[in-house]
């Protein structure tokens, strides 16, 4: 299973806490993340993460390419709906490509839990 992890600046701590809570599960997956998010996740956990470019440099588009190539099984994008900055990744493009290719995308902690648990249940 290959998962993408992305977070707006104000949600990076939430994603780190999620990754720490589910570290055993995530350790069994291939992980990729945008640059800064991946760096922070690796500093806070023992997870091995393929880092793409940071969001402002196109890391979210690189992940979109993985989705289009069918090499990504799910996306967890901790989105800040209230204070996202213009330089941060835009969820709408990823949402569109995930919908086109029938790839699950979670945008908050509750949906991230369901996504992860659903993918692991399906893999068993």
What is the domain partition of the chain in residue ranges? 2-123
- pLDDT top residue among 90 and 56: 56
Predicted confidence (pLDDT) at residue 44 exceeds the cutoff of 80? yes
The confidence band for 56, taking pLDDT boundaries of 50, 70 and 90, is: confident
Helix 109-123 vs helix 12-21: angle between axes, to the nearest 10 degrees? 40
Regarding pTM above 0.85, the answer is yes
Which residue in the list 14, 24, 28, 60 is annotated as catalytic? Answer: 60
Cβ partners under 8 Å of residue 29, min gap 6: 1, 2, 3
> 87: annotated binding-site residue?
yes
35 annotated ligand-binding residue:
yes
d(CA 112, CA 81): 16
Classify domain 2-123 at the CATH superfamily level.
Methylglyoxal synthase-like domain (3.40.50.1380)
**Residue 46 is among the residues annotated as catalytic for this protein:** no
């Amino acid at each position: 299973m290959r998962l993408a992890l992305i977070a707006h600046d104000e949600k990076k701590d939430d994603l780190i806490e999620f990754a720490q809570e589910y570290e055993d599960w995530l350790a069994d997956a291939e992980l990729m993340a945008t640059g800064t998010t991946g760096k922070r996740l690796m500093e806070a956990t023992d997870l091995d993460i393929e880092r793409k470019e940071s969001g402002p440099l196109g890391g979210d588009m690189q992940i979109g390419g993985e989705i289009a190539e069918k090499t990504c099984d799910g996306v967890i994008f901790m989105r800040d709906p209230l204070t996202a900055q213009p330089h941060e990744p835009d969820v709408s493009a990823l949402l569109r490509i995930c919908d086109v290719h029938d790839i699950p995308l979670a945008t908050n902690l509750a949906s991230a839990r369901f996504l992860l648990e659903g993918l692991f249940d399906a893999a068993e």
